[in-house]
Every structure is written in structure tokens, then in C-alpha cells.
Structure 1
Amino acid sequence: MKVSLASTAEYSSKAAESINDLNPNAADILIVSVITSMVTDLGVVSPTASGLLTYYDGQKTQNIQ
């Protein structure tokens, strides 16, 4: 895996590691970790909760929100 994930949730980290053989990019890791958190961290994260995800594209040097 060429990207990394910092997470306080054990399952989000394990989910990111589980797609390692698919050669994921940062967006893939982001999606996997957010969906995993929505399922495993109920009460903290929910589908109706608000938040902001920012993905930084280092090659284009721009933020995608």
C-alpha cells in the first residue's frame, strides 16, 4: 500500500489493510474507512451526521472536497 491511514478505530485500520492487494489509492482508503466507521462506530458516526472529508491530490496540488 502506497498510502497510509491514521485512525482511532481498529476496524477502520483493518478494513484499509484488507484491500491492500487491490493496490488502492488514497480515495479508496478514505471510502473504505468512512463506510466502516459508519457501520462500526454507531453513536459516534451515523449516515445523517455532518462532516467534511478532504482529499489532497499531490500530483495536481489541489484539494477535492
Structure 2
Amino acid sequence: MKTWMLNLIGITVLTAGLSACGVDGEPVRPALNAGIGVSNSGVHAGGSVGLQKGPVSVLFGF
């Protein structure tokens, strides 16, 4: 059972690594955006992180 799990984890890591480096097509690029705003009510910080591939972006803001 342990060997089966190790093989599954290894295949998953290998697949993720190949897709991240662009072997199967255009690579997925990480995106990062950060900003600081100042207003009458104080200073506000915010930003977003996500992934970008071609014209498609997926961002998560905070």
C-alpha cells in the first residue's frame, strides 16, 4: 500500500513540474499585485495572488 501511495505522489509531482515548466505548452505564470491606499479614514493595504496562462487570469484578492 505504501509503494502505491509513493508512486501516486511521485506521478503527481512530476506532472505538476512538467506543466509548470511549459513542456506541454505555454507555462503558467504566477501573478502578484500589491498596493497601499491612503484616505481620510486611514491607510489600507491590499493585494492579490494568482495564475496567468495566455489571456486567462485567476486572481485571489486580500
Length-normalised TM-score, structure 2: 0.31
Q: Higher helix proportion, which one?
A: 1
User: Of Structure 1 and Structure 2, which has the larger fraction of its residues in strand?
Assistant: 2
Relative contact order (C-alpha < 8 Å, sep 6+): which is higher? 1
